Structure formats: structure tokens, C-alpha cells
Structure 1
Amino acid sequence: AGFLGINLVRQLLESGHRVRALDCAPFDHPERDRVESCVGDVRDRDCVDAAMSGVHWVAHCAAALPLYRAEEIHAVDVDGTRIVLESALAHGVQRVVFISSTAVYGIPDHHPLVETDPLQGVGPYGQAKIDAERICEGFRTRGLCVPVLRPKTFVGPERLGVFSMLYEWASEGHGFPILGGGRNRYQLLDVAD
């Protein structure tokens, strides 16, 4: 699902894996002939069950982003996660990697953040990711292997946003504005990593 999902599919294909992708939109990328694309919604148990059949590992990347309505965020990020995990357990999936977010930490008052920092999600998205992580914990007690990753903002080819402009300015030798004293830190993650 989304930018991370597309790049994960590409990496898995390059590593020789067979890939089945469940997304609300068809996988319409150059690699589409090598991907079994299931069009559907993580909130639809029948659709998830159909996609889950015969699968060994799952990377659960689906999420409604912060710009969505609170009800939509909860339905996709919390209810959808529960459905994915229920289906995985029922189908004997070995591992479900849940993609959470550093949004679970809220607005940090220190850096770097570590896994043991308190969870204080800001807004519906941050809270939904916390709730979904708690659901993952519950499924671990039922025997499902569910590692949770909390990545920061992804950047990479096809998704640089304002950063593409900054990179262009830097490569051309132009200066660009620095906020504050230049000591502000913001973590970005190359999607290839």
C-alpha cells in the first residue's frame, strides 16, 4: 500500500520472492506482470482472506494517513489491522510485519527517540497507530509473530516532495533557507533502506 508498499514489492521481486499485493488500487507499475495483485480493502475480511490464502509472510503497510477523517483513520489503521491479523492467524501465516510510525511518540521533547520512550500519539493518526500496536501485542500472545517497525518519513525516487527542490538547489550550488540556528534535526528514511 502506498509509497512504501510499492518499493517493498520491488525489493522483494529483486530478491527473487513471489509477491501478492493487496491494495485498494490495482498494482499498476512496470512490475505488474510479476505481481499477483488483489484489489480490495483491509477492512473487508473476505477480501483479506482471499489475499492471505497460501501466504507465508505479510508486510502490513496499509494506513489511512493523517489528512483523512478520524473515523476513516480508525477504521483502516485499527480495524483493518485487526482483520489482517485475524486472517493471518487463521491462515497459518508465519510472520506479519506491522508498519507503524514514529507518530506514536507524539511531539518529542528529546532526540534521539528510542523504543522505550512513552507512547503519546498526537491526533487520530498517532492514536490509531498506538491502538494498532496494542492489537499486535495481543496477537503475539496468541502465537503470531508480529514485529512492529516505527519508521519516520520515507523519501526516495518518485517521492521527494519539497526535498526534490532542495536537492536541486544544492546540486546547482544555490543556497537555501535554514530555520533556526541550523541545529534542527529531522529524520528521513530512504525507502530503499
Structure 2
Amino acid sequence: MTWLVTGGAGYIGSHVVRAFRDEGIDCVVLDDLSSGHRAFVPEDVPFVDGSLVDRAAVDEALAGGVSGVVHLAGFKYAGVSVSRPLHTYTQNVTGTVVLLESMAAHGVERMVFSSSAAVYGTPDTDLVTEDSPTRPESPYGESKLIGEWLLRDQAKATTLAHTSLRYFNVVGSGTPELRDTSPHNLFPIVFDALVAGKTPFINGGDYATPDGTCVRDYVHVADLATSHLAAAKALEAGTALEPVYNLGSGDGLSVRQIMEAVARVTGIEFTPEVKDRRPGDPAVIVAEGRLAARDLDWQMRHTVDDMVRSAWEAREAAQ
């Protein structure tokens, strides 16, 4: 039993690879290292340096008895996708088409797809479920929804077994060797500001929430990896899964709560600057994780301090 992890040199993907390996499941990694790191992949894990849009690279990664794919590779920056729509669609839609074509050619019939809660756009309710309307507001969110459609339609035409996992903000580190290096994510932005002696800031402090700042899901990357593993094992066992699952906290955390935890854990005292709201930021978006808890061993196993501490320790280890 060997699974291909696309994007397996990235922040989330590298944690998924380790979760599989801890379970005794062999992996192959396909990654073009546009945002991932070769050092994040264990030396004894087969690695193909290539893009999803390169059919030869995908064929190479799938050759040799791969039984399923965890598909995490893609262009993941929602804000940047607005100014780079064609790049986003090429990487996320065309790349998924190429992957599905190659899977069919190699007889690989299982996929766990890393989708996004960006497919919901601005929901009508604070708590979204898998039945909430999908109204993505960026090329990134649209590309993820199209990816789900591609799996749905390929499954109708073939024997593909699949599920898609939707989630919001992924934080923390499962081991100090792996960390989030994205310049667009909250934790790296806050840490970079503190290390540079600057004051982190919050976008908007007058929302209709308990402390006036936006409330979102923040989920630990190790918990996320555990559910990707559970989904793969279920597909391998022939267990029927829902087409989509939310990996959500059910209640969320505010941006100010995150800032307070950062100060508490790092020992660096600061009062975040409050700037104007960003256009389009809803006050609250939180996903329910009930179905994933039932089927995919989904749990929020880490407190906010755990999340910050593990991420900070990984940041410190990289210095």
C-alpha cells in the first residue's frame, strides 16, 4: 500500500506524509517546490520534482503500484489569485485534470482531495455545514470547487472513490522540523513582525463579535493530517464516505484571541494595532465538523496555546 501525496513537500503535505509513515504506509511525493521545501520530505521517501501540469512527471510519480492519491498540490493564495486568475486555474484545475487522467491510465482509483472552505464565500450563517451554499468569491475558491466537481464527474464515469476535505486556517506544527513559511498566513506574519521588532496589526476591531475582531476556524496541522490519513484508510478499506467534509472547530477563535495567545506563549508583550476593516471580511465564519468527527477521526486536539507554541518552536528551530 503506497499513496502519492501531491504537494508533499509543503507545510500541510509534509505533515500528511509523516502521518502516513507513522501508520506504516509508504508514500511517494510529487512537488515542484514552488512553495514547498525538499528538506521537509524524509530522505527515504521517493520524491519527484515536477508540476501537476507536467503529465510525464505525474506518470513517473504514479508508476510502481500507487493505490491512492492525497491531492494537496496547488496555488493556495486566495488574495493573490484575484490578480493571477489564469495561473490559479492552470495550477488548480488543469493540474487536477492531468492528475485524474494519469490516475485513470495507471488504474489508481482513490483520491482524498484537499479542498477549502473558500468554496463557501461569504455564507448566510455564522456556522457552515457541508450543505451550506457554495459561492466562492475568488479564483482560488472557484478552482477548489471545480476540483470537487471534477472528482464527482470522474467518479460517475469510472470507479474512482473519493472525498474532499474543506477547511479554513491551518496553524501550528506537528514537529519542529516542519513549519508554515507562507508570507500570506496569519502566524508567519505575526511572528515575522515580532522578530523584526514591529507591532502586529488586526484588520478591523468593530465587528459584531465578543471582542470586536473577526472569528474564524483555526485548526492544528497535525489534527488535519490525522483526518487525511483516516480518509485514505477508509477509501482503501472500501468504506463509503461523504463527498465532502468540513474540518471545522464548531466555535472558532477571534483574531484578538490569537494575538493574546502569541503574546502569552512567546513572552513578547505587545498590543496589536487595529487598522481599518478589509473589504469582504465577514464577522464570523466557522465550520461544523460533526460529519468528519463521525467518519474521519476529526478532533480539535490542541488548544490555542498549543497551536501557537508548536508554531513558535518550529520558527525558533529554523533560526
Shared fold by TM > 0.5?
A: yes
Classify the secondary structure of the residue corresponding to 2:69. strand
2:36 equivalent to 1:10? no
Paired residue for 1:73?
88
| Match of residue 51, structure 1, among 36, 50, 61 | 61
- 1:38-117 matches, within 5 Å, as 38-53=48-63, 54-65=65-76, 66=78, 67-68=80-81, 69-117=84-132
2:28 equivalent to 1:20? yes
Paired residue for 2:166?
150
Distance 1:4 1:86, change over 3 A: same
Distance (whole Å) between structure 2 residues aligned to residue 113 and residue 30 of structure 1: 33
Query: Which amino acid is 1:145 matched to?
Result: A
Classify the secondary structure of the residue corresponding to 1:182. coil
CA contact (8 A) 1:85 1:96 kept: no
Q: What displacement does 1:38 show?
A: 0.5
Stretch deviating more after TM superposition (60-69 or 36-45): 60-69
- Deviation per residue, 1:93-118 (Å, 9 max, x gap): 13111111000000223121111111
- Deviation per residue, 1:47-96 (Å, 9 max, x gap): 11111112011100011122241111000111111111121122121311
**So what's the TM-score if we normalise by structure 2?**
0.54
Q: What displacement does 1:31 show?
A: 4.9
Classify the secondary structure of the residue corresponding to 1:29. helix
Aligned length: 186
- Deviation per residue, 1:19-43 (Å, 9 max, x gap): 1000002862265222100010001
Structure 2 regions of 5+ residues with no counterpart? Answer: 1-6, 174-178, 181-186, 193-200, 224-319
Could you tell me the percent identity over the aligned residues? 31
Paired residue for 1:171?
none
Distance (whole Å) between structure 2 residues aligned to residue 34 and residue 11 of structure 1: 15
Paired residue for 1:186?
216
Paired residue for 2:4?
none
Distance (whole Å) between structure 2 residues aligned to residue 64 and residue 31 of structure 1: 19
Q: What displacement does 1:162 show?
A: 4.4
Distance (whole Å) between structure 2 residues aligned to residue 31 and residue 46 of structure 1: 21
Paired residue for 2:232?
none
Query: Which amino acid is 1:155 matched to?
Result: V
Distance 1:88 1:59, change over 3 A: same
Larger radius of gyration: 2
